[in-house]
Amino acid sequence: MVDPRAHGRVLREVVFDERAIEARVAELGREVTAAYPDGDLLVIGALKGSFIFLADLVRRIERPLQVDFLVASSYGRGTVSSGEVRLLYEPGTPLADRHILLVEDIIDSGRTLASLVDRLRSRGPRSLAICALLDKRIAPPLPEIRFVGFAAPTRFLVGYGLDHAEDFRHLPYIAELA
């Protein structure tokens, strides 16, 4: 399958199509709405991968909320994780005594996510939960993982915010890169 938006590269197969993603994001919005009936809700998007998912999700959450972002890096200039997570940008919004929902595109090894949870917890939120679009189910379990869109195959996926060398984020579906 070749998509004209795929820069001439071949995508092996669509794993989650637009309709499936849209339906699941709507369900997640209802789940998040029900889980937070009161208190200040701050939704924090882990950039860059979560930005499309986050935008669609917050429009489906039917309660007041605020949005902020963080950018973490564990790769530096290499292609293999260094194991050291650096925050390149962190939320400027106070986190103390607020419900925090960290929105992530995909849970892979879980190392970066575990480090982010520790850092966010240290700022005294009322609660902290993770909402991930995809979970490859290879990371050690984190009790904060509360909302998951889809169990993902352990293949290299692109689209709907997920990238390969900054390409493919714009695709409205998730596909395996050949």
- Tell me the pLDDT tens digit for each residue of 67-76: 999 998 764 4
What pLDDT does 6 receive? 58
CA distance 78 to 8: 25
Enumerate the H helices of 13-140 as residue ranges: 18-35, 51-58, 111-121
* 6-40 confidence digits (pLDDT tens): 555 689 999 999 999 999 999 999 999 999 999 89
For 115-169, the pLDDT digits (tens) are: 999 999 999 999 999 999 999 999 988 899 999 999 999 999 999 999 998 999 9
97 is an active site residue: no
Angle at which helix 18-35 crosses helix 51-58, to 10 degrees, equals 60
Distance CA 169, CA 8 (A): 15
Write the single-letter amino acid at 50: S
Contact (CB, 8 A) for 46 and 103: yes
Q: Which of these, 7, 12, 57, 4, lies nearest to 35 by C-alpha position?
A: 57
How many residues can be counted in the chain?
178
Q: What is the pLDDT of residue 44?
A: 97
The rounded distance, in Å, linking the Cα atoms of 156 and 21 is: 18
Q: What is the pLDDT of residue 3?
A: 60
pLDDT at site 80: 42
Check: pTM over 0.85? Answer yes or no.
yes
From the candidates 3, 108, 163, 167, give the one annotated as an active-site residue: 108
Q: Domains in the chain, start-ordered, CATH in brackets?
A: 22-74+84-154 (3.40.50.2020)
Lowest-confidence range among 22-31, 82-91, 93-102, 142-151? 82-91
